[in-house]
């Protein structure tokens, strides 16, 4: 059997973590709030708004003790599994949220194509969101793909 690393990480699975999985509904609400904030940024001046939205999505979980504004409102935070439960930093936030920022970038790149541009972005974005939501729901620790990449976990508190 392979030697178990910190916090019981064996291969790609996280086992025996010292944290309690955050409530799934609270996570969904926190992410919705963050997307609403990013959407508000997006509506700002021409190029500044979309860039602000992308930046917020990327670094939000690295703000204030691992809490995006949505997570702060719902009482959640992101912890690092590599740094013994330390708050998520900006690097980890970028890693865990890159896939969501890519959706906004895709909208900027192909969303202008009449009819099919927005359709492809909406379908692709919905597929990413649905997949991540199902992983959060089904994973014993609520660790989605972005959390695996960044080695983070969302917890209560």
Tokens of 87: 């708050």
The pLDDT confidence band at residue 13, using thresholds 50, 70 and 90, is low
Which pLDDT value is given to residue 45? 75
Cα–Cα distance, 126 to 147 (Å, whole number) = 19
pLDDT for 5 beyond 60? no
Give 133: exposed, middle or buried? Use CB within 10 Å, 0-12, 13-18, 19+.
middle
The pLDDT confidence band at residue 115, using thresholds 50, 70 and 90, is confident
Which pLDDT value is given to residue 2? 40
pTM of the model: 0.84
Which pLDDT value is given to residue 69? 96
pLDDT for 9 beyond 90? no
Which pLDDT value is given to residue 70? 95
Percent of the chain at pLDDT above 90?
69
81-110 residues labelled b (16+ CB within 10 A) or e (exposed): beeeeebbbeebbbbbbebbbbbbebbeee
For residue range 44-81, what is the model confidence (pLDDT) as tens digits? 877 899 999 999 999 999 998 999 999 999 999 999 99
The residue-averaged pLDDT of 130-156 equals: 93
Which pLDDT value is given to residue 3? 38
């Amino acid at each position: 059997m392979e030697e178990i690393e910190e916090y019981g990480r064996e291969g790609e699975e996280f086992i025996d973590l010292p944290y309690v999985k955050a409530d799934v509904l609270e996570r969904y609400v926190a992410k919705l709030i963050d997307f609403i904030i990013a959407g508000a940024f997006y509506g700002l001046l021409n190029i500044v708004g979309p860039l602000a939205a992308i930046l917020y999505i990327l670094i939000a979980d690295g703000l204030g003790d691992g809490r995006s504004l949505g997570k702060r409102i719902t009482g959640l935070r992101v912890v690092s599994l590599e740094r013994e439960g330390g708050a998520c930093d900006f690097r980890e936030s970028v890693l865990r949220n890159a896939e969501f920022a890519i959706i906004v970038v895709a909208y900027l790149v192909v969303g202008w194509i009449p009819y099919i541009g927005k359709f492809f972005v909406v379908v692709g974005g919905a597929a990413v969101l649905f997949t991540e939501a199902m992983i959060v729901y089904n994973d014993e620790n609520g660790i989605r793909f972005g959390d695996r990449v960044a080695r983070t976990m969302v917890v209560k508190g």
